[in-house]
Amino acid sequence: MSSQNPVFIPGPTNMPEAVRKACDIPTLDHRSPAFAKVLNPCIEGVRKVVKSENAEIFIFPSTGTGGWETAITNTLSPGDGVLAARNGMFSHRWIDMCRRHGLDVTVVETPWGAGIPADRYEEILTADREHRIKVVLATHNETATGVRSDIAAVRRAIDAAGHPALLFVDGVSSIGSMDFRMDEWGVDVAVTGSQKGFMLPPGLAITAFSKRAMEAVESAKLPRTYFDVRDMATGYPKGGYPYTPAVGLMNGLRFSCGLLLEEGLENVFARHRRIAEGVRAAVSAWGMKLCAQSPDLYSDTVSAILTPEGFDANKIVNHAASAYDVAFGIGLGDVAGKLFRIGHLGSLTDVMALSGIATAEMVMADLGLPVRLGSGVAAAQEVYRANGAHARKAAA
């Protein structure tokens, strides 16, 4: 596949050249004071991106999946209760991980395409008078279906039930691209990875722990060694690390946090929203629908596009790769073969998005789908012309 073409998968995302170069540094002694100059800005930068004043930030050489394991093993004991909705592949995988760790998971089966049913959470938590449930899981942005759930509503449900459960949020495909308010939403552990909104290669699990979550760490009985945040917490104030860190990736994280904060988080979120609206306009022009059931659920980082009944959506992804050297995302789990995904997060512009929309049109036309060339591109252009930076300058 040509490295000249941007990718349109929901991660790993396109990397700015400056970020890639920031990862390319000479060997650095991570036991020396020089490492603190990499570590400390990473911690402060991530804390700002998740919008927290006091969260403890822990960065592991791993992925978002390792971040999930960090969250549960540091705060829970065997047999503890967990409440989760299964509304996509990634919520499904976190549930599976909890069960493998011997946790008692109450699963709210939810249609793939729907958001987290906060009202159902409130009912279950209200009925849990013995407070058997210790943690509520929430996937902020379900990457498999392009669904964004309302985390503030989940927190309100927990509070309305008068329940002390901790709130853990998978923000892997949202943090750094869509608004995430750790303190305001009462999130106790937030999990993300390096390869999405932070525009880096895979390799870092990034977690943020609230004060309540850190209190739970001391009584948790699940085994943990590599992912023990206590070892991180002990070393960080001295610029230390419990084992060999991924120094190059962390230097890239330091740099990418700087880029996000320099652009301004609200501008980053607005850019993602604008690009997503262009993609959604294209989907409508094609006469297609998104997997997400309603506009309030639409993700600003990935659009999961349903194809006609009986058509194998994997053909679109395969043909795009073989004929045009462009990567789109396949359907996963319950929606495999029923949809394809256009990722529009990280290092992306309106113009880059138009190239992906145009490619998708060519692919679908090649495969005989009733898509008129240029229809989606024109629809997206109208969105970008009306809301793009040049339009604001022209009006000034």
Q: How far apart are CA 371 and CA 376, in angstroms?
A: 9
Model-level pTM? Answer: 0.95
CATH 3.90.1150.10 range(s) for the chain read 265-395
Distance CA 208, CA 205 (A): 10
pLDDT of residue 395: 43
- Tell me how far the alpha carbon of residue 336 is from its chain's centroid: 20
What pLDDT was estimated at residue 335?
Answer: 97
What does the pLDDT profile of the chain (396 residues) look like in tens digits? 557 899 999 999 999 999 999 999 999 999 889 999 999 999 999 999 999 999 999 999 999 999 999 999 999 999 999 999 999 999 999 999 999 999 999 999 999 999 999 999 999 999 999 999 999 999 999 999 999 999 999 999 999 999 999 999 999 999 999 999 999 999 999 999 999 999 999 999 999 999 999 999 999 999 999 999 999 999 999 898 999 999 999 999 999 999 999 999 999 999 999 999 999 999 999 999 999 999 999 999 999 999 999 999 999 999 999 999 999 999 999 999 999 999 999 999 999 999 999 999 999 999 999 999 999 999 999 999 998 765 555 444
Q: Report the alpha-carbon distance of residue 82 to residue 78 in Å, rounded.
A: 11
Measured in whole angstroms, the distance separating CA 299 from the mean position of its chain's CA atoms is 10
For 349-375, write each residue's pLDDT tens digit: 999 999 999 999 999 999 999 999 999
User: Counting every residue, how long is the chain?
Assistant: 396
pLDDT in tens, 121-179: 999 999 999 999 999 999 999 999 999 999 999 999 999 999 999 999 999 999 999 99
Q: What is the CATH architecture of 265-395?
A: Alpha-Beta Complex (3.90)
Ranges of CATH 3.40.640.10 domains, the chain:
17-262
pLDDT of residue 393: 55
Fold annotation for 17-262: Aspartate Aminotransferase; domain 2 (3.40.640)
- Please give the Cα distance from 185 to 215 (Å, whole number): 19
What tokens appear for 288 in the block?
């297609």
Distance CA 102, CA 171 (A): 24
CA angle 366, 370, 375 (to 5 degrees): 90
